[in-house]
Structure 1
Amino acid sequence: MRKFALLAATALIATTTSITPTLAQTSPAAEQSQASANLASIIADYENWAAEQDPWTAGAEGNRDALSRLPDISREGELARRAPLTRFRDRLATINPDALSADERLNHTLLSRSVGLDLERLDLDQNRFAFNSEGGPEAMAGYLAGATRIATADDAEAWLLRLGALAGYYDAALANARRGIETGMVQPRIIVDRVVTSTTAAAAFTLENDPLMRPMATRPPSISEAAWADLTGRARGIIVEQIVPVRQRWATFMTDEYLPASPVEPGAIGLGQRPGGREAYAFFARWYTTTEMTPDEIHALGLSEVARIRAQMQEEMAAAGWTGSFADFLTYLRTDPQFYVTTRDEMMMHARDIAKRADDQLPALFNTLPRLPYGVRPVPEEIEANYTTGRYNPGSSVNGIAGAYMVNTSALDQRGLYELPALTLHEAVPGHHLQIALQQELGDLPWFRRNGDATAFVEGWGLYSEFLGYEMGIYRTPYERFGRLSYEMWRACRLVADTGIHWMGWNIEQARACFRDNSALSELNIQTELERYISWPGQALAYKIGELTILRARRRAEEALGDDFNVRRFHDAVLLGGPVPMNVLEQRIDAWIATERERAE
C-alpha cells in the first residue's frame, strides 16, 4: 500500500497554492486537464496531512513514523486543524466539478463532504466526552497493545515511542474531561460508575499483568537475547516511571472530580439534556447515518421496523412449535440450558465452527475476496466486563496482523447460542472482516476513500451480512433464525432508544422496554448496549439506515434485471468503491444496473 511522507501541515499548504485559469482563457480540454491536475494536487496534500493527524490508519499501512505516535486529542490540537481544513475546503471550491471525469467528480464530492463535516464537528468540542462506557485512555491503550505486533527491532523501538507518548495522551484526556465538567458536557452517573471501576483496575496493574507488555511477550528471532532484554527493560521503565503515575492521576480524577459532577437524575442521561446537546445530536444523526434524516424521522422508522420484524418473529416461533405467548418464548430462550455453554472453550469452538462454515460459502456470493485472513479470538479478560458480546478489530497485511473477530466469553449464561450465527456473520465474514479487509486492499482508490468514515456503510454492511446468512445456509434451526431476527430487532430498537434517550429525553427504563419486550437479548447484553448508546450518541443509528439502503438497492436491481441479476457482481458494485454515504451508494447501484442492462443486451 502507498506510504505517505508526513510533512508539516503549514509547509503543505504553503507550497501547493495554484491558480485555475478562467473559462475565457482556456479550451474545454485545457480546463479539464487543469481541473484534474488541481484536484490531484489537493488530494495528495490532504492525504499527507490526514495521515499525520491519524497515526492509527497511517501506522496500519506501514508508516514507521506513524507507528511511533499517538493522535493529538487536545483541544489545542483539534482547533489547529481548522486552518488547514478551511484551506482545503476553499481550494476544492475553486474547481468546477463539470470539468472533471465521473471518477474525479466523485472524489471531489466525497472529499468536499468530508472536509465540510470535519469543520462543522470542530465547533462541537466532542472530545469533552473523554471516555465512553468501555473506558477512556486505558481502554484505548489496551486495544492498541492487542493490535501491535513486534517482529523487528524497529517495531520494538516504535512501540517504545508510543508508550512514551501515552502519558501525554492521558493528560490531554484529563484536560478534555475537566473542560466537559466546566461546560456541563459530562457523562451521566450510570456510565461514570462503570468506568470508575475499570480505571481503578487499570491503576492497579502490575508488570506481570499489564496489557502494555503483551507486544513484548515473545522475543522475535530477529532480535538477540541481549537486545531483547534491553528493549523489555526500557518498556518496563516507561510503564513504571511514566504510565503508572498518570493512570493513578486519571483514576483519582475520575473518582474525586468527575463522579461528583456527573448527573444522577433519571432524565438526565441524554445528550439533549446538555448545553448545546440537541444541536450536537442532530449533527451526529447526520454524521453517522450519512443522510439528512432528522431524529424524529429516524425514531418513526425505528418504530415501523419493530412492528415489521415482530411479525416475522411470530412465524419462526410457530416453526419452532411454540404455542405459548411471545413473552414466554423470550423467557424460554433466555433461560433454557440447551441454548448456553458453560466454558469459554466451548463458546470459542462454536464461534470458530460458524466462521468456517461461513468461509465455505463466500465464493458463491462474492467475486472479489480479501487476501488478509482473520482469526477468532476471545475478548481479553481485563476488559470483558464492559465489552459488547462481539467485535471486529481490523488487521494490517503490511504489519503482519490478521483481522480479529473478538468473542466475549464472560457471563456465558447471558450469551445464547441462537444469536451466535448472526453475530459471527456480522463481525467476521461476510461482514466486517470481508468489507474492511477488502477496503484496505483497494489500491486503485485514493487513500482518503479507502479509509473513509461512513459508519452507515460499514455497519449497514455488517447487518446486511446477517441477512445473507439465509442464502449461505448458516441458520439451521428456527431458534437460530429467531436469533437472527432478534439481532435485527436489536438494531431497530437502537433507532427508537437512541433517539428516545438523546432527543426525546427518555430515561433508561423507557429505552430498555423496546429491547426487553421485542428481542431475546439477555439482561446483561441489554444493559451493556444501553450504556453504550448513552455514552456514544448517534452511532447506534447507522446500522439500520445502512442495511435498509443496501437491501433497497438490491431489490431495485433484482426487479430491474430479473434473471440477469448476478449477486456476485452486485456485491462488487457495493464494495469495490469503498465506504460511501448512502446517497452515493444508491447512485452507484443505479449506474451499475444500467451497465448490467447493457451487458445483457
Structure 2
Amino acid sequence: MRKLILPAIIMLAVTGCKMTTGSKAQYYLGDTQKTEATSNKPQETQNAAVEDLSLKTIIDSAWQINLDYSPQMAYSLGDESKASLLADLSPETLAEKNLRQKTLLSSLKQLDKSKLSKTDKINAQLLQYQLQNSVDLYTYKDHYLPITAESGFHAYIASIANTPLNTAEDYQHYLDKLNALPAYFAQQTFWLKQGSINGITPAKITLAGFEDSISAYIVEVEDSGYYKPFTDFPDHFSEQQKTKLTAEGKKVVTEKVLPLYQQFYDFMTQDYIPSARTSIAAKDMPNGGAFYQNRVEYYTTVNMTADEVHQLGLKEVDRIRAEMEQVIADVKFEGSFAEFLHFLRTDPQFYPKTAEELLKEAAYIAKKADAILPKYFATLPRTPYGIKPVPAEIAPKYTTGRYSGSNRDDEAGYYWVNTYALDKRPLYEMEALTLHEAVPGHHLQISLNKELTDLPNFRRYSYISAFGEGWGLYSEYLGLEAGFYQDPYSNFGRLTYEMWRAARLVVDTGMHTKGWSRDEAIDFMASNTALSMHNVTTEIDRYISWPGQALSYKIGELTIKRLRDKAETELGEDFDIRLFHDALLQNGSVTMEILEQKVDEFIEEQKAAQS
C-alpha cells in the first residue's frame, strides 16, 4: 500500500520551508471567507517568462523547490538550518510554490530532448510526470483535503516526536517545532474550511469515527507522545539540563499542543463533519470528472479511461474467482462460495489470540522471505527492516498493513502490522501481506531505490504508485514460485488479496464515475473476497477518500507480469530471473511506459551477450 507517508515518505508532498506564526495564524483561524485567490501575489506574476534552461538546471531547480518547501525532508537529508521548522502551508507560500513548479514545467516541456542520452530522456520524462502532478493537485485544490478516511495531518505531524534528540540543541529545535504547531494547525484548519465552502471534502459517511483519531491525542501530558522525549534523555545530559528541558516541555505540551487537539476535535465534530458532502463520487465535486480522470492517468501511468479500467477489473474478477473456486473444491468444503467466506471470517482457528501472536507470525514469514531473496535477486539492499504494530491512535480506521521507509542512514524501514481488532486479522492472509509490504515487496524495492546513488535525488526519493504497488502485488505472486502458500487456506488468502486488487478496479471506478453507492461497493468486495467485513468497509472508505490510487496495484502487476512473459518468451533458456528482477528495479520507481522501454533494452542486451 501507499507507503507511509507519515511518511517521511518517499513521496514529495506539498509542504513548506518555514512556519508562519503570530497574527497570520489568526487570519487562518478566523476569516475563512477570504479565498486563496485574494491572498495570492498579483496576477501578472502568474505569467512568468519561460526560461531556456538545461535539463540539469531544471532537475536541480525542481529538487531545490522540494527542499525549500519541505523542511522535514531537507533536515533529514542534512540541512541543519531546517531543524526547527515546520511546513508553511499559507496561501501565499503554496501559490508561490505552484508558480515556481509551473514555470519550471513549461521550461521542461520546451526543452529539446532529441539530443539527450537515454538516461536523461528518462530523467526528463519522470520529472515532467512529477511536476505535472504537483501542478495538477494545486489546480484541483488537493490542499483543501489534508485528511482522508484513514487519518490526517493531526496524526502525521505527531511523528516529529520520533526524531532522535541527542543534544540540548536538538531539544531546542524540538521545542521550536512544538511552539509552531498552533500556526500549523491553524493553516490546515483554514484549508479544511475552504474545502467546506467550496464542496471539496471527504464524503461524510467516510468520516464516521474520524474523531477517534483526534481524541487519541487528548490525554494527560505525561501520556502524550509529544511529551515522551522529555522522559527519556540521553545519558550524558546533566540533571540540571533534564530539569530545565522537562519543565519547558511540559509547559508547551500542556498549554499549546494538547489544547490544539481539543480545538480540532470540536471543529471537526461540530462544524466540518456535519457539513461534509453527502455524495461519495469524485465526479460530484467541483470539476470532479476531470479530476478523477486525471487521477486515473496519474496512478496507473497508462492511457486508460475509467470505463476501460472498470471492464478490465470485471475480467480479472472472473478469472480469479475461478481459481478460488478450485481451492474450495480442493479442501472438499461442502457449501457455497458465500458459505466458505463466512467460514473463513468466523472460525477462530484462522485468527490470532494476541497482538504478539500476530506480530510473531509476521516476523516468522518475513524471515522465511529473507532466506529466498538470493535465489531471485542478484542485488539486495543494505538497509534492514523491522516489524511493529500500527500506532494505536490511528489503528481503528487504518489499513491492515503498510511499509514505512526512512530517509536516514541510521534507521531501518518498518513493516507495520495492524493489531487492532484481532478477530478481523486472519492469519491466512499474512503470507501475502508480508511478501507485499516487507520482502520481496516494498522494503526491497524502496530501499534499493534510495541506494541508487547515480540517480538524481528527485528519483531516489520518489514513489510511483503503479510501479511500487504493482511490484508489491507481483511480489505476492512470486511467493508461489518460492514455495509459500503450501497451506490451501493461505493460498486462498493470496487469491483473496489478488481479488481485492482486481475488485478495486471495479469499485473505485464504479463509485467515482458510475453512480455506485457505498453499500454496492461493500457488497461487491465482500462477496468476492475473504477479507473481514471490518477490512472491507475500511478499504471502501479509503477508496472513496483517495480517488484513483487503488487502481495502481493491478495495472502495475499486470504490466510486470506481461513484461516477464515477454522476456521469458524471447530469451527462452537464457532467461535469468535474478537478472530480470534487477533490470526491473535498477532504475528506481518509473512509469509503465519507461519500464517497458527498460525491459526491451534488457532483452536485447541479454540476446547480445548470449550471441
TM over 0.5: yes
**Cα distance in structure 2, aligned partners of 1:383 and 1:359:** 29
Which position in structure 2 is the counterpart of 1:88? 104
Q: Which amino acid aligns with 1:457?
A: F
**Which aligned pairs between 1:21-32 and structure 2 lie closer than 5 A?**
none
Corresponding residue number in structure 1 for 2:416: 406
Q: Which residue of 2 aligns with 1:539?
A: 549
**What is residue 272 of structure 1 aligned with on the other side?**
283
Which residue does the alignment assign to 2:241?
227
Other-structure match for 1:32:
none
Deviation of 1:308 after TM superposition, in Å, equals 0.9
CA 545–189 in structure 1, closer or farther in 2 if over 3 Å, else same: same
Shift of the 192–208 alpha-carbon distance from structure 1 to 2, 3 Å rule, reads same
Identify which range, 225-234 or 518-527, moves more after superposition: 225-234
Aligned counterpart, 1:241: 255
Q: Residue 138 in 1 paired to residue 154 in 2?
A: yes
The alpha carbon displacement at 1:577 in A equals 0.6
Is 2:292 the partner of 1:281? yes
Residue from 120, 123, 129 that aligns with 2:139: 123
Contact map agreement 1:133 1:194 (CA 8 A) in 2: no
TM superposition shift of 1:226:
3.2
Equivalent of 1:46 in 54, 62, 71: 62
User: Which 10-residue stretch deviates more, 489-498 or 287-296?
Assistant: 287-296
* Shift in CA distance, 495/216, structure 1 to aligned 2, threshold 3 Å: farther
Q: Distance in 2 between matches of 1:184 and 1:225?
A: 54
Using a 3 Å threshold, how does the CA distance of structure 1 residues 67 and 575 change in structure 2: closer, same or farther? farther
- The alpha-carbon deviation at position 154 of structure 1 amounts to 4.3
Shift of 1:356: 0.6
After superposition, the Cα gap between the structure-2 partners of 1:325 and 1:593, relative to the gap in structure 1 and judged at 3 Å, is same
Q: 1:392-541 alignment to 2 at 5 Å? A: 392-398=403-409, 400-541=410-551
1:156 to 156, 168, 171: 171
Instruction: Provide the residue aligned with 1:101 in structure 2.
Output: 117
Q: For 1:513-555, what per-residue CA distance to the aligned partner results, in whole angstroms no more than 9, with x for missing partners?
A: 2211110000111111111111111111111111111111111
Q: 2:151·2:394 contact (CA, 8 Å) conserved in 1?
A: no
Letter paired with 1:375: G
State the distance in 1 between where 2:520 and 2:107 align.
Answer: 48
Work out the CA distance in 2 between the residues paired with 1:382 and 1:270: 28
CA drift of 1:116 comes to 2.5
SS in 2 for 1:310: helix
Once residues 297 and 172 of structure 2 are traced to their aligned partners in structure 1, the CA distance between those partners, rounded to angstroms, is 41
Q: Which amino acid aligns with 1:206?
A: E
| Deviates most, 481-490 or 57-66 | 57-66
- Conserved in 2, the CA contact under 8 Å of 1:376 and 1:407? yes
* Distance in 2 separating the partners of 1:507 and 1:406: 31
Aligned to 1:599: 609
How far the C-alpha of 1:377 sits from its partner, in A, is: 0.4
Q: CA deviation at 1:453?
A: 3.8
CA distance in 1, matches of 2:17, 2:417: 39
Q: Is the Cα–Cα contact under 8 Å of residues 204 and 273 in structure 2 kept in the other structure?
A: yes
Give the Cα separation in 2 of the matches to 1:112 and 1:600: 36
1:213-272 CA-to-partner distances (Å, cap 9, x unmatched) read: 3445522235444334433433333222222232222111111211221244xxx11222
Q: Which whole-Å CA distance do the structure 2 matches of 1:178 and 1:497 have between them?
A: 29
Pick the aligned partner of 2:198 from 183, 189, 195: 183
Matched, 1:390 2:404: no
C-alpha distance in structure 2 between counterparts of 1:362 and 1:154, whole Å:
42
Shift in Å at residue 67 of structure 1? 4.3
| Counterpart secondary structure, 1:283 | helix
How far apart are the structure 2 equivalents of 1:479 and 1:550? 26
- Give the aligned residue type for 2:293: A
Residues 1:255 and 2:269 are matched in the alignment: yes
1:357 maps onto 2:368 in alignment:
yes
- The Cα of 1:455 is off from its aligned counterpart by 1.2
SS at match of 2:222: coil
Post-superposition offset of 1:192 = 2.5
**Are the equivalent residues in 2 in contact too, given 1:372–1:397 (CA < 8 A)?**
no
Q: What amino acid maps onto 1:137 in structure 2?
A: F
**Per the alignment, do residues 289 and 151 of structure 1 end up closer, same or farther by CA in structure 2, a change over 3 Å counting?**
farther
Give the 3 Å change call, closer, same or farther, for CA 140–294 of structure 1 in structure 2: same
Q: Distance in 1 between matches of 2:51 and 2:204?
A: 55
What letter is aligned with 2:382? R
Change (3 A) 1:260 1:102: same
| Structure 1 range deviating more: 383-392 or 320-329 | 320-329
Change (3 A) 1:424 1:253: same
Instruction: State the Cα distance separating 1:42 from its structure 2 match.
Output: 2.2
Mapped pair 1:112 → 2:128: yes
The CA distance in 2 between the partners of 1:310 and 1:106, in whole Å, is: 38
- Check the 8 A contact 1:431/1:462 in 2, yes or no: yes
User: In angstroms, what is the RMSD of aligned CA positions?
Assistant: 2.3
Map Cα deviations across residues 309-354 of structure 1 (whole Å, 9 max, x no partner). 1111122222223242211111111111111111111111111111
2:313 and 2:503 in contact (8 A); partners too: yes
SS in 2 for 1:375: strand
- CA distance in 1 between partners of 2:185 and 2:235 (Å): 33
Contact 1:452 1:580 in 2 (8 A): no
Q: Which of 574, 582, 596 is 1:586 aligned to?
A: 596
Partner of 1:76: 92
- Contact residue 458 and residue 579 of structure 1 kept, 8 A: yes
SS in 2 for 1:81: helix
- For the 8 Å contact 1:306–1:492, the answer to whether it is kept is yes
Secondary structure in structure 2 of the residue aligned to 1:423: helix
SS of structure 1 residue aligned to 2:321: helix
| Secondary structure of the corresponding residue to residue 361 of structure 1 | helix
Native 8 Å contact 1:378 1:409 kept in 2: yes
- Residue 294 of structure 1: which of 305, 311, 319 is its match? 305
DSSP-derived class of the 2:223 partner: coil
Which amino acid in the other structure matches residue 333 of structure 1? L
- 1: distance between equivalents of 2:88 and 2:200? 20
| Counterpart secondary structure, 1:302 | helix
1:477 and 1:48 mapped to 2: Cα distance? 51
Residues 1:470 and 1:63: Cα distance change in structure 2 (over 3 Å) = farther
- Counterpart of 2:185? 170
1:211 is aligned to 225
Cα separation, 2, equivalents of 1:53 and 1:174:
19
Matched length? 568
TM-score under structure 1 normalisation? 0.90
Residue of structure 2 in register with 1:569 after alignment: 579
User: Residue 287 of structure 1 aligns to which amino acid in structure 2?
Assistant: Y
SS at 2:114's partner residue? helix
Identical amino acids, percent of aligned pairs:
42
User: How far 1:387 moved relative to its partner?
Assistant: 1.4
**Could you say what secondary structure the match of 2:208 adopts?**
helix
The gaps in structure 2 that reach 5 residues or longer are 1-15, 19-40
Q: Aligned equivalents of 1:153 and 1:499: distance in 2?
A: 52
* Residues in 2 aligned to 1:534 and 1:91: alpha-carbon distance in whole angstroms: 35
1 CA distance for matches of 2:100 and 2:540?
A: 37
- 2:199–2:286 CA contact under 8 A, matched in 1: yes
Secondary structure at 2:356 match in 1: helix
**In the superposition, relative to structure 1, how do residues 190 and 588 fare at CA in structure 2: closer, same or farther (>3 Å)?**
same
Q: Which moved more, 1:564-573 or 1:135-144?
A: 135-144
Letter in 1 for 2:174: W
* Counterpart residue number, 1:324: 335
Give the structure 2 partner of residue 192 of structure 1: 207
Question: Counterpart of 1:98 in 2: which secondary structure?
Answer: coil
